[in-house]
Amino acid sequence: MKKLMPHFCEIIKAKIYFPRTRKTIPLQEIIMLEGMINYTVLHLRSGRRVLIPRTLKLFEILLVNYDFLRTHRGFMINCEHLRSIDREGVSMILTNNLQAMVSRRRRDKVNERLHFQA
């Protein structure tokens, strides 16, 4: 895979490694990624939040081969942490009672990926 941002981050053995800060975060620890303009907040299983100065689009490209799904312009979830989805398909409840929205235009793609009946 072509590196998007050299020396920013890479995935090694199912962990995101940030060389500049020498921080390593296992992918299974990430519950949800939340985009805030040019920053991304990683919500972890422990309840901690990690602020990364990169856009959610970069993480969407980086995590394309893993069990992550972009549900909204501002949210990307780890499908392993999905607890429930409401009947209308508007919001999802994740581990630690985090809530992610599902956009109207991505609803069909989300249902197809999660094998729900539309």
Q: What pLDDT score does 25 carry? A: 95
> Residue 72: which H helix or E strand, with range?
strand 68-72
Q: Which residue has the higher pLDDT, 87 or 49?
A: 49
**Which is nearest to 83 in space by CA: 41, 31, 118?**
31
pLDDT at 111 over 90: no
Is residue 107 a part of any domain in this protein? yes
Domain for residue 97, yes or no?
yes
Any domain includes 31: yes
Question: pLDDT for 57-90, tens place per residue?
Answer: 999 999 999 999 999 999 999 999 999 988 787 8
> How many domains in the chain?
1
Within-domain flag for 49? yes
Distance CA 105, CA 5 (A): 29
The CATH number linked to 110 is: 2.40.50.1020
In 1-118, at which residue ranges do the beta strands (DSSP E only) sit? Answer: 10-12, 15-18, 23-26, 30-36, 39-44, 49-52, 68-72, 75-78, 82-85, 91-94, 99-101
DSSP secondary structure code for residue 58 in this structure: H
Whether 56 is covered by a domain: the verdict is yes
In a domain, 4, yes or no: no
pLDDT score of 1? 47
Q: How confident is the prediction for the chain on average, in pLDDT?
A: 88
Asked if residue 1 is part of any domain, the answer here is no
Neighbours of 62 (CB within 10 A): 20
- Position with higher pLDDT, 6 vs 14: 14
* Res 117: pLDDT: 43
Quick check: is 79 in a domain? yes
Which residue range is the domain that position 29 belongs to? Answer: 10-114
